[in-house]
Amino acid sequence: MLCAPTVDHVGGRATGLPVAGLTALQALTTHGSVTPGDRVLVIGASGGVGGYAVQLAKAFGAHVTGVCSTGNVELVGSLGADRVVDYTTTDYSDPDHLEGGRRYDLVIQLGGTTGVSRLLTVTEPTGTGLVLGGDGGRWLGPIGRVGAGVIGPGSCRSCCVRQTPVEPI
């Protein structure tokens, strides 16, 4: 394992930026082709990738709905999500729970086990669904259910629910 020292004025929160931030950016742009006004659903909005996805989607002018658990609702709202859905109390894949009955143009799944066919019921017919990971089965992980910005100083922050100290080498 290669460990890099953290820089004081950046802090440990920035360590997730290179991979998690670029993963979110790639999902939104390369694969999601997000445009201003798009309705974006980020399932796993309080996580490493999802936190960036929420902030970047907002920076691209999208209307963002973030999905997370009860304890992270406030966090996801503070990241700029227009709407936050608590997956412990609300089924975000139920068309009856769509805001104003409007489906999403882009769905990015990072957590949970909701199947692709179910997610399609809340996705516009011309929309895009991306499964970047999420929980899954014992053998295939999430694969078993897959059918398928600019970051300036201070404009984007990492979501860090827990930190594990690493002893100096």
Site for ligand NAP, rule CB under 6 A: 19-20, 23, 43-50, 67-69, 72, 87, 110-112, 132-134
Nearer to ligand NAP, 20 or 56 (CB): 20
Nearer to ligand NAP, 32 or 111 (CB): 111
Compute CA distances 94 → 70, 103, 161, whole Å.
18, 10, 28
> Least Å distance between CB 62 and ligand NAP?
18
> Least Å distance between CB 124 and ligand NAP?
21
Nearer to ligand NAP, 114 or 168 (CB): 114
Q: What is the number of helices (H) and of strands (E) in the chain?
A: 4, 5
Contact (Cβ atoms closer than 8 angstroms) between residue 46 and residue 70: no
Contact (Cβ atoms closer than 8 angstroms) between residue 48 and residue 134: no
Phi–psi pair at 131, nearest 5 degrees: -110, 110
> Least Å distance between CB 48 and ligand NAP?
3
Nearer to ligand NAP, 110 or 156 (CB): 110
Dihedral in degrees, nearest 10, Cα atoms 81, 91, 112, 20: -10
> Least Å distance between CB 135 and ligand NAP?
6
